[in-house]
Structure 1
Amino acid sequence: MGTLELKLVEENYYLRIEKIKQIKSNAYFVKTKDGKEFFLKVSRVDKEHVDFIIKIFSHLKNTSFKSHLIDFQKTIDGGFYFLDENKKVYLLCKWIDGRSADFRNVFDLRRAVSILHHLHLASLSFADKIEGSFYPSYQEVFRKKYLQVIQMKNIIHRKNSLGYFDEMFLNILSKFEDRFVYSINMIKTIENYFRKENRRVLIHHDPAHHNFIFSEKGVYLIDFDYAMVDYSVHDFVNLGVRVLKTNDWDRNIFRIYLKFLHDINISKKLWLQIFWILMYFPQEIWQVGLQYYFEKQPWTEEYFLKRLKGAERIQHGKEMIIKEFSGGCFKWH
């Protein structure tokens, strides 16, 4: 972080920085001259979504979930963030000493499941208030993503010569493209019934281990940059995939994870069927293609290839787990 940015932080929060240390690409540990410690974040999302996050916090602070939140520090003008000349959003909160969740530890895993479930329940009335807003169905989301996959193939085929990533991407698509189509057909079969039996909630949408902070005072859930209104099943699929990756696709750990979901009684009508279909959809393969062909992320070819091979391994792993654990739910018709 440059001198100009540091000066803006000091001016907007009326503090004097003694030490600053980068801990992620967009996050910093800050210690002030009077000994206070803060977490500074330069958000990757735009102002409109940050305003949405502030609304989320305002709602959750009036619920029992408030014990899992870290308060934002207010700026000198009473706001919860400030913008620099490039419209980047800066947020500051108290530093919490703690550790990230360990998804190899069943205690931590149970707590993560419990906290996500608590978030969903605490946000029901919040989600209801904005239920009038348009939220696409899973059918529409799947179709849009598959259309993008087709566009990626067209981009490749229009090239005069293919790079190694192009060839690898086409090769992997040839193995898994039918999964996109099958997922769309399956979700179409049951989604309307599912939506009648399940309510939308606020989902965190990024339940990575480092977003659960275990401290002496409790467990905190941080980084709501990707939060959205959706069904709880989406959060638990995301968490499930992370648990499997962390544990090298250990079936016994996933069996424990499914038991934790059963224990909190979230498996309403067709919930598990949707769970398995969302697992089956080649989300990770689509995402790498999106980052390479559409977003054009400034990563090396080597890094993109690593991510692509990782996405292929994840899809293989998910299908192995589905085959073993779906219990026939996946073939509902």
Structure 2
Amino acid sequence: MMREFEIERQFDIKIEIIKANKGVYYLKTNKGERCLKKINYGPQKLLFVYGAKEHLIKNGFNNVDRYYLNTEGEPYALVNEDLYTLSEWLEGRECDFRNINEVKIAAETLAHMHEASKGYDPPENSKLKSDLGRWPHLMEKRTKSLDKMKDIIRKKNIKNDFDILYLQSVEFYKEIGKEALTILKESNYYELCMLAEQEKSFCHHDFTYHNIILNDNESTHVIDFDYCKREVRTFDISNFMTKVLKRVDWDLEFAKAILESYNSVSKLKEEEYKVLYAYLKFPQRYWRLANRYYYNEVNWGQNTFTNKLNSIIEEKDKFLKFLNDFKSEYKIE
């Protein structure tokens, strides 16, 4: 159990109300409303995240969930071996990914964040997180693991609905994975990684609707930088695009709106489109769902898994049409 008096002592606050809210705690304190969050990683990684947010603020990107420091000047409280962070409680609503205007605002915000991320030197005692140069290896490994999961099913005496669906669909996604890897290898991926290394920029790595908070005075906050790391910006863009597009039947107009809005703030180079296309093509969602299922990463019910797999498979034709249209729209060779 979290010891509230330890939180009060270390952050020098008095808690009047505490309520659990979507994986965090809402606090009403003598110093205002706060968000308390338990962190499931170590202090070195947390210092990287803290430094990244402070860097954005220093560069004019203020709309983040900035950490309050404890009485020792550290951005956390240590309670029974657990780390807790304290930040301002942000009022507002989650971004609606079916609303093209809100999606455009999010795309512009992402571009501003990427611009402000440049020149980040992490604090000395922090742990540098980076995925630069890793994606060809990750794509290859994940595509191969689709076969390993097929072997897991083959060894089962009784196959359930998820197993059968997986066996029926896996070859298609394996091929798409291989094609995405080939496209990435043929692109200027490594040169773009070197550029990101030189620029010392970073990505959010989880830029999705519940981490984009809009409110009525037109300000847009980006929260939850737990996964941020050195990375080429096209990863963030593709991840964001996929999360939007799966909700709008892979509508090319949404993709164009995202890129137009992003480019209005920070223009993508011609060679970045091929890397973006490779990311969009890679069957990350299919791999991730199967991986979660066969390696017990999430304890969802059997039906939830089967329904999620079904919905990914059912959008296959729209997904393929989108890829073809995107390729011709942006003249990707």
Question: Are positions 1:171 and 2:168 aligned together?
Answer: yes
- Residue in structure 2 matched with residue 21 of structure 1 by the alignment: 19
Q: Note the 1:83-232 alignment, pairs <5 A.
A: 83-85=78-80, 87-126=81-120, 135-192=132-189, 195=192, 198-200=195-197, 201-215=201-215, 216=217, 218-232=219-233
Does the Cα contact within 8 Å between 1:69 and 1:222 map onto a contact in 2?
A: yes
* Displacement of 1:78: 2.5
Runs of 5+ unmatched residues, structure 1: none
SS of the residue aligned with 2:226? coil
* Displacement of 1:54: 1.4
Q: Which has the higher contact order (CA 8 A, sep 6+)?
A: 2
* Structure-2 change in CA distance of 1:197 and 1:71 (3 Å): closer
Does the Cα contact within 8 Å between 1:203 and 1:235 map onto a contact in 2?
A: yes
Does the Cα contact within 8 Å between 1:194 and 1:269 map onto a contact in 2?
A: no
SS of the residue aligned with 2:230? strand
- The percentage of counterpart residues that share the same residue type is 24
Paired amino acid for 2:18: I
Distance in 2 of aligned mates of 1:194 and 1:310: 36
Q: 2:55 aligns with which of 56, 59, 64?
A: 59
Paired amino acid for 1:167: I
Task: Judge which range, 131-140 or 315-324, deviates more.
Answer: 131-140
Paired amino acid for 1:281: F
Does the Cα contact within 8 Å between 1:64 and 1:122 map onto a contact in 2?
A: yes
TM-score normalised according to structure 2 size: 0.86
Distance in 2 of aligned mates of 1:145 and 1:128: 30
Paired amino acid for 1:9: I
* Structure-2 change in CA distance of 1:262 and 1:37 (3 Å): closer
* Structure-2 change in CA distance of 1:304 and 1:196 (3 Å): closer
| Poorly superposed stretches of 4+, deviation over 6 Å | 127-134
Paired amino acid for 1:212: I
Paired amino acid for 1:205: H
Two-structure CA RMSD over aligned residues (Å): 2.9
* Structure-2 change in CA distance of 1:132 and 1:99 (3 Å): closer
Paired amino acid for 2:231: D
- Residue in structure 1 matched with residue 67 of structure 2 by the alignment: 72
1:125-165 Cα shifts (integer Å, max 9, x gaps): 12799999773332112112123222222222233332332
Paired amino acid for 1:202: F
* Structure-2 change in CA distance of 1:132 and 1:162 (3 Å): closer
